[in-house]
Amino acid sequence: MQLRDLPHTDPGEPDVRSGRHFLVWLGRMQLGGQVAALLWGLVWMLPLGAMPLAVGTAVQAVVDRDGGKLAVAGALLIAFGALIALGDSMLHRAAVTNWITAASRVQQLLARKAAELGSVLTRRVAAGEVVAVSTGDVEKIGWFVESFSRFTAALVTALAVTAGLVVYAPELGVVVAIALPVLALAPLPLLPYATRRADDQRTKAGRATELAADTVAGLRVLRGIGGEELFLDRYREASQKVRTAAVRSARMWALIHAVQVALPGVLLVIVVGHGVGLARSGSITVGELVTVYGAVTFLLFPMHHFAELAMAYSFSRPSAKRAARVLALTRATAGGGDTGTGAGGDGGSGEHGPLDGELHDPATGLRAATGRLTAVVCGDPDAAGRLADRLGGHPAEPADLPSVRLGGVELDGVPLVAARAAVLVQDKDPMLLSGTLADLLDVPASGSVKPAAALAAAQCGDVLTALAQAAAEAPDGDGAPMGAPITERGRSLSGGQRQRLALARSLVADPEVLVLDEPTSAVDSHTEARIAESLREIRAGRTTVVFTSSPLLLDRADTVVFVQDGAVAAEGPHRELLHGDPAYRAVVTRETDDEKQEAGGVRDAGAGPGGGAGDGRAVGAGAAGDEGVRDEGGVPQMMEETA
């Protein structure tokens, strides 16, 4: 495989029983590249191993004053030199190609697994662990594949040179043949200690990375509470632990390298000493002694490849074990259906046909009617997030809950690509990838909703103005908002602007079912009222589920479902639930127990703290001068009725 062919069309199904099995599977997938590396390695190393023979022949020709033999030796040196240059360059190319293609394969597998699991991944594996596996561990696995490419050629060449020495100079060749396996195996007892120390270093580095990621993500909060120094001290402590572990690991590897240098040196002294004695006695010629010396010196070169492979394996096996552990994670299913991407890559659902109809969660009793706007109120935000994941075909723990059904079809039992095409879930903290606004809105879509309409429905007018200004100020910008750059995670935008751009992206996708988890929690009341009205219009005829506790959104929903303690407790229009269900009213208005007692259990709709949604926005403020909150059907009129 060539680098231009990346990414892999199909990275395959890995063997994740253990780290060793995963490395073996990866080797099988790289078989063609390994064979190419072996052949080019032989083109490089065999002439290199035969070079002492040409040098010894040249020396003996000088001693014997034989011009013809000297010319032959010179021709051999030139030919061997050309082959060495060709083989070295091509082996390097083949080995690096194996490294990159193997690393790319592992990264594709990890990316596919992340797409399959979604938010479930970070609930089962720490975020720092995922980052470490997809970066450092992938590099170590690629290193092992690359070193194995050169090891096979070194092994074949070492065996060939040793066999040649036994035939060429039996007295010295036998000594080398006996000593060589001892030298190769001598560092092995030290490798487990080195591996454990390296793994300890990697674990501590992963913890430090996770701490750093958490600190950066919560930097604003830390500054607000004055906690920067506290977390900085924690990171310093974690960093020092990484440094200490790295020093301990380096000491062990230094000891291994010392053994690898000292023992071959002893062998070389023994061979030379014994060879000089044989040359004095006339058993071998000076040229033969030079040849044997050069061959033994060359054999130290494959020994370095053996040592490198052992080191690469020691580092890569724990990395492969961690990668296999992540890749072994599966979607929690109730029906035991296909949990992978599987068939149906065209966005359909295979044998089930197109997915549409009523969205039903048997676990809670939640039903979202086809083509209607359903609002869901949960007293527990975490429970709301888990339920939103379940509605999108990502069932959260416990895994024994029944599958969500769309049109009677279990989402857990269809290929993930089909579930994703039918149901789109927007998290409460959506991710904005770096790029331009046009890139952000370039998502798989039905084409029914144009980007301009989606941006207008999400009330992104001020965002477009800000992006256009940023584009005009850029050195190569043209002032067009669609070409304006969006920084990583949208850090240059406010929380409300990020939410509205994410909502616009979801509206452009125009899925059959759209699930929004608190899509306006960071938006002011005036803008929220307009978004609520626009959302009804642009999603007309499509099924939309909104998790929210904002009266401005609840009042415009066709149906409101109140979920309490993991089950549907009430269902109906917002105003009816507000009048007739005290528990619902307490969640929406954020009433405390004392306030309910003071009011005799009957409170005005806007009398709670902040008078509105769980984010503390006042409903009354939204009604003043805002056309989105109308007296004929909105919350203010209802408040007057209850008063």
Per-residue pLDDT, averaged over 404-431, amounts to: 83
Examine the pLDDT at 177 and tell me if it is beyond 50.
yes
Q: Note the pLDDT of residue 227.
A: 61
Q: Note the pLDDT of residue 562.
A: 94
Q: Are 284 and 169 in contact (CB under 8 A)?
A: yes
Per-residue pLDDT, averaged over 105-123, amounts to: 80
Q: Tell me the β-bridge partners of 561.
A: 376, 571
C-alpha 443/C-alpha 436 separation (Å) is 13
**pLDDT digit string, tens, across residues 370-413:** 999 999 999 888 888 888 888 887 765 556 678 888 888 888 77
Q: Note the pLDDT of residue 557.
A: 93
Confidence tier at 337 by pLDDT (50, 70, 90): very low
Q: Note the pLDDT of residue 537.
A: 92
**Of 475 and 183, more confident:** 183
Q: Note the pLDDT of residue 636.
A: 37
Using alpha carbons, list the distances in angstroms from residue 420 to 204, 366, 408, 507.
Answer: 36, 20, 16, 15
C-alpha 637/C-alpha 640 separation (Å) is 5
Q: Note the pLDDT of residue 615.
A: 42
Q: Which residues contact 103 (CB under 8 A, 6 or more apart)?
A: 138, 139, 141, 142
Per-residue pLDDT, averaged over 489-495, amounts to: 75
Q: Note the pLDDT of residue 479.
A: 54
Per-residue pLDDT, averaged over 62-74, amounts to: 87
CA-wise closest residue to 50 among 414, 347, 294, 369: 294
Examine the pLDDT at 352 and tell me if it is beyond 70.
no
**pLDDT digit string, tens, across residues 578-596:** 888 889 988 888 765 555 5
Q: Is the torsion defined by CA of 375, 378, 381, 385 positive or negative?
A: negative
CA-wise closest residue to 546 among 471, 617, 613: 613
Q: Which residues contact 400 (CB under 8 A, 6 or more apart)?
A: 334
Examine the pLDDT at 66 and tell me if it is beyond 90.
no
Q: Note the pLDDT of residue 331.
A: 66
Confidence tier at 111 by pLDDT (50, 70, 90): confident
What average pLDDT does the chain have? 79
Cβ density class 605-620: b for 16+ within 10 Å, e for less: bbebebbbbbbebebb
Q: Are 100 and 142 in contact (CB under 8 A)?
A: yes
Confidence tier at 239 by pLDDT (50, 70, 90): confident
C-alpha 74/C-alpha 552 separation (Å) is 91
Confidence tier at 90 by pLDDT (50, 70, 90): very high
Coil, helix or strand at residue 441: coil
Task: Summarize the chain as % helix, strand, coil (round to 5).
Answer: 65, 5, 30
Q: Note the pLDDT of residue 611.
A: 38
